[in-house]
Structure 1
Amino acid sequence: MSTIRITKIFNFETGHALFGYDGKCKNVHGHSYKLYVTVIGKPITDTKNTKYGMVIDFSDLKKIVKEEIVDVFDHATVFNKNTPHIELAAELQTRGHHVILVEYQPTSENMVIDFAKKITNRLPEGIQLHALKLQETESSYAEWYASDNE
């Protein structure tokens, strides 16, 4: 049986600020992110399995990514927990805003690394995360490939 890659695309809105950055992105701002999730595996050959012919049911992949990424990051503001933005984060939280504090500078590069770990931990046996593409703007994105991280 052939090995197949399947991809599902997710959209979410997230704000962030890059502490210590020397450009405009030091200010709090947001993006309409597109996350391309590609997994790899062999289609199920058991004709009695309700998922016969699928590598993974797209709805099962959707559930994983929504729970781990989209539902968490959508309409949230992400700050590195070790920056002076922590005071702003606390103020936003007291006003009912959804704030995420992370261990890393919330760039697309670091976010895609974080997302890869979260998704990999939830995939069923026999299915591997092949690649992620996190598109921040129309012309800018970060990519993560399993083959680069072995």
Structure 2
Amino acid sequence: MVYVTRVEHFNAAHKLFNPDWSREQNDAVFGKCANDNWHGHNYELYVTIKGNPNPETGFVYDAKKLSDLIKEQVTEKLDHRNLNIDVDFMNGKLCSTENLAIGIWNQLQQHLPQDVYLHCIKLYETPRIFVEYYGE
């Protein structure tokens, strides 16, 4: 089994706010991230796939196709967008980095060939905070 990782970048705004809570509770839990005027991040996205190299190409999956897939299914939908308002696969979800990583997984998994598997989504919100999701 070989693991291949593609790194992409996007910028997006969001706010963390639970509509079932009072303003005070949102402020207590989410702090500045509950700001009514939103806030943004420069996200770094690591998409790791796994599989066995094709004997004819030596590739697990063509890197250009992987890049195109990530751009089409993820970064074009997220880049310079408001995650709470503009992103269909985040509708009805709290826009935490954890939920965003799960959403990205779901966007990509369905488009990979049968012999290529999504292994991990690693999403950096800042250089010091990131989440990893393995589809579990």
TM over 0.5: yes
For normalisation by structure 1, the TM-score amounts to 0.78
Which residue is equivalent to 1:60? 65
Q: CA RMSD in A?
A: 1.2
Higher relative contact order (CA 8 A, sep 6+): 2
1:95-114 equivalences in 2 (<5 Å):
99-100=86-87, 102-114=91-103
Runs of 4+ in 1 over 4 A off after TM superposition: none
Aligned mates of 1:63, 1:117 — CA distance in 2: 16
Query: Which residue does 1:38 correspond to in 2?
Result: 48
Find the structure with the greater CA-based Rg.
1
Give 1:100 deviation, angstroms.
2.8
Where does the alignment leave 5 or more consecutive residues of structure 2 unmatched?
19-25
Partner of 2:122: 133
TM-score normalized by the length of structure 2 = 0.86
Structure 1 residue runs without a partner (length 5+) = 47-51, 80-88, 90-98
- Report the 3-state secondary structure (helix = DSSP H, G, I; strand = E; otherwise coil) of the residue aligned with 2:8: strand
What fraction of aligned residue pairs are identical, expressed as a percent? 34
Matched pairs, number:
122
Q: 1:96 is matched with which residue?
A: none
Equivalent residue letter for 1:42: N
